[in-house]
A and B are shown apart, each in its own frame.
Chain A
Amino acid sequence: RKEVEQDPGPFNVPEGATVAFNCTYSNSASQSFFWYRQDCRKEPKLLMSVYSSGNEDGRFTAQLNRASQYISLLIRDSKLSDSATYLCVVTGNNDMRFGAGTRLTVKP
C-alpha cells in the first residue's frame, strides 16, 4: 500500500464548478500536510498548508481528518487557470511523501 494515495482523476469540470479532492495517508504519526500544484511539465509549487482546524485561502479550502487519516482540497468557482495536477503531501519526523496527484481540467 502506498503511503499517500490520491484519486488520479482526471476531473473534468466546467468553469465555475466546485470540485473536491481527497487524499489518504497510512502513517498515523504524520505531522504536517500540504497541497502542491503542478502544471504540465513544470515543477510542483506549494499551494497551501493544511491545518487541523481547516483553513481557507480565497477559493481554496483545505481540511484534515486525523482520525480517518485523510485530507481534502475544495476549489470553489473554478477557473480555467486552475487546470493542473494537485499533489497531496504528508510529512513525518524524517521524510516528506507525495501522492501521485489528481489531474484537474477546467473547461470553458
Chain B
Amino acid sequence: GAGVSQSPSNKVTEKGKDVELRCDPISGHTALYWYRQSLGQGLEFLIYFQGNSAPDKSGLPSDRFSAERTGGSVSTLTIQRTQQEDSAVYLCASSPQTGGAGQPQHFGDGTRLSIL
C-alpha cells in the first residue's frame, strides 16, 4: 500500500526565500510528525499533530517555522525567510495513534532542503 509521501524530494533555494514542504500521511493515520535532520545529526523533533487536538509546536526552532494539517490529512511545513542553517533533510512520519498502543511511526523519504 501507499506509504508516507513527501514532496518535493529535493529543494534548493536562495537565502531569504520562503519554502513549503508537503507531507501526505498514510490514509487513516491520525498522528503526524515533522522532524529535521542536519548532516551527521540525529532527528530533531519539530511539530506533532494528533487528530483534531492542538498541535505540539514545542520543537519549532523559531517563529519562521510553521505547519498546518488540513482536514486531518495532508500537512504543510512552511519556512519563511530561509537561512543557511535551515539546510537539512525534513522528515515526516505518521502513525495510527500514539500513547498507550505505542504505534511505531512510518517515515517518508524526506525533503532535502538546501539554502544557498
A contact residues vs B (CB 8 Å cutoff): 6, 8, 31-34, 36, 41, 43-46, 49, 85, 87, 89, 91-101
Contact = CB atoms under 8 A, between A and B. Distances in A.
B100 A93 contact: yes
Interface in B66-91: 89, 91
Interface residues of B, number: 25
B102 A99 contact: no
A44 B109 CA distance: 9
Nearest to B105: A96
Contacts of A89: 104-105
B11 to A, nearest CB: 16
B105 to A, nearest CB: 6
Most buried by B among A6, A8, A95, A100: A95
A93 B98 contact: yes
B56 A98 contact: no
Contacts of A43: 91, 107-110
Interface SS of A by simple majority: strand
Contacts of B33: 96
Given A43-B107, A43-B109, A95 B98 contact: yes
A94 B56 contact: yes
A43 B104 CA distance: 14
Nearest to A3: B45
B98 A91 contact: yes
Given A49-B104, A92-B98, A98-B45, 20 more contacts: A31-B102, A32-B101, A32-B102, A36-B104, A43-B91, A43-B109, A44-B43, A44-B91, A44-B107, A45-B107, A49-B102, A85-B42, A91-B99, A92-B99, A94-B48, A95-B45, A95-B48, A98-B42, A100-B41, A101-B42
A94 B35 contact: no
Contacts of B108: 43
B61 to A, nearest CB: 15
A77 to B, nearest CB: 25
Contacts of A41: 89
Contacts of A8: 42
